[in-house]
């Protein structure tokens, strides 16, 4: 394994206690704000010191509390890209890239490496510019070039696209995919966006309140979430506490609805989740499985989607139904106050026990 992490760090109101391993892959770290994603990476980089545990990268021990090993950030040779890129404003682009080079690099070798990075990231001709004269996308490219110039053993990216507009983000994501394919080692990618993680990451580790809630292939995280934390970060909009009725029936207590399920309901089921896009309009009286008449409380539109907010007759808890405006055409879509017969597919209900 390229990365072995097993650490604990306590604060007055929060404890980080995570353990996982990663190979030469892109591993996403997903979780709500303050869950411990960035803190985990800072511990790997040596910017924070765990209270106990062990960190090993490419066979080299970075930290071992039992053996009293704690390498400095400079000794660890990690590369971490923050949300604000952290370029040196008083240095040119070329000087910023060179700042990542190991001590002892000759001037000739430094010029060669900087030239290669400028060429690789489409920055040729920008070497003498200062960061203030660069766009957000160009600043990000400089920051990534500086990372790679250091020949790091592990790459760590902390929500690198959060400050970019959607057009620039889309273009730079393609550059990032090329970078990930070229890097031979572990890449940790912190995000709160499941779609972003789906594009970049082979596996995802869900961090919840300082603990590892689940780690699995990205496809499984989306298709078969196994915990409440994973339901939330994987984009499930409809979540309810659940009660076992029988092997193929579960009650969504938040909505006061009993639902039939294709899968077997575990006796200790705790929550169920339903993606807003899975709900559909019931077509007729014969289409009765998990069909309910609900009142439309609100309708809202985005560019490509229409969202209906329903109120269950047995509860004040609201339920979301999301349709694609590109696929589904509705000449007379439901309006606020209408009552609509909707259906919840029996094979699209996520059940979790914790």
Mark which of 186, 202, 226 sits at the end of a domain: 226
| CATH, residue 43 | 3.40.50.300
Q: What residue numbers bound the domain in which 196 lies?
A: 3-226
Mark which of 226, 252, 270 sits at the end of a domain: 226
Q: Does an H or E element contain 112, and which?
A: helix 107-120
Q: Single out the residue of 337, 283, 288, 270 nearest to residue 308, CA to CA.
A: 337
pLDDT digits (tens, 9 = 90+) for 244-295: 999 999 999 999 999 999 999 999 999 999 999 999 888 765 557 899 999 9
pLDDT digits (tens, 9 = 90+) for 209-230: 999 999 999 999 999 999 999 9
Mark which of 182, 203, 226 sits at the end of a domain: 226
Residues 162, 39: one domain? Answer: yes
Q: In a 10 Å sphere around its CB, with 0-12 CB exposed, 13-18 middle and 19+ buried, how is residue 274 labelled?
A: buried
Q: Which of 75-84, 147-156, 169-178 has the highest mean pLDDT?
A: 147-156
Count of structural domains within the chain: 2
* SS3 at position 211: strand
Residues 150, 263: one domain? Answer: no
pLDDT confidence bin for 71, thresholds 50/70/90: very high
Residues 61, 132: one domain? Answer: yes
Does the residue 149 lie in any domain?
yes
Residues 276, 210: one domain? Answer: no
The pTM is what? 0.86
Question: How many beta carbons lie within 10 A of that of residue 132, not counting itself?
Answer: 8
Residues 120, 179: one domain? Answer: yes
Residues 249, 203: one domain? Answer: no
Does the residue 81 lie in any domain?
yes
């Amino acid at each position: 394994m390229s990365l072995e992490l097993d650490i604990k760090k306590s604060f007055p109101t929060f404890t980080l206690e995570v353990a996982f391993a990663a190979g030469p892959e892109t591993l996403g770290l997903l979780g709500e704000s303050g869950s411990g994603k960035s803190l985990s990476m800072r511990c790997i980089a040596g910017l924070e010191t765990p209270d106990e545990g062990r960190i090993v990268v490419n066979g080299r021990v970075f930290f071992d509390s039992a053996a009293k090993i704690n390498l400095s950030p400079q000794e660890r040779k990690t590369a971490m890209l923050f949300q604000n890129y952290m370029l040196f404003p008083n240095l040119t682009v070329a000087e910023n890239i060179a700042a990542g080079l190991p001590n002892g690099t000759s001037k000739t070798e430094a010029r060669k490496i900087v030239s290669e990075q400028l060429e690789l990231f489409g920055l040729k001709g920008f070497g003498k510019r200062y960061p203030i004269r660069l766009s957000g996308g160009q600043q990000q490219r400089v920051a990534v070039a500086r990372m790679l110039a250091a020949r790091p053993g592990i790459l760590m990216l902390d929500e690198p696209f959060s400050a970019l507009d959607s057009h620039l983000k889309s273009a730079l994501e393609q550059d990032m995919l090329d970078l990930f394919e070229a890097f031979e080692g572990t890449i940790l990618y912190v995000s709160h966006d499941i779609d972003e993680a789906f594009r970049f990451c082979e596996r995802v580790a869900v961090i919840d309140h300082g603990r590892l809630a689940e780690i699995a292939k990205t496809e499984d995280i989306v298709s078969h979430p196994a915990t409440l934390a994973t339901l939330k970060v994987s984009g499930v909009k409809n979540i309810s506490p659940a009660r076992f009725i029988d092997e193929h029936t579960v009650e969504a207590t938040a909505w006061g609805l009993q639902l039939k399920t294709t899968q077997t309901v575990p006796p200790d089921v705790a929550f169920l989740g339903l993606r807003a896009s899975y709900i559909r309009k019931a077509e007729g009286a014969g289409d009765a499985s998990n069909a309910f008449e609900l009142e439309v409380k609100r309708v809202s539109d985005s560019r490509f989607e229409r969202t209906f907010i329903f109120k269950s007759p047995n509860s004040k808890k609201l339920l979301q139904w999301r349709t694609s405006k590109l696929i589904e055409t509705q000449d007379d879509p439901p309006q606020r106050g209408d009552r609509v017969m909707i259906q919840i597919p029996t094979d699209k209900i996520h059940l979790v026990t914790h």
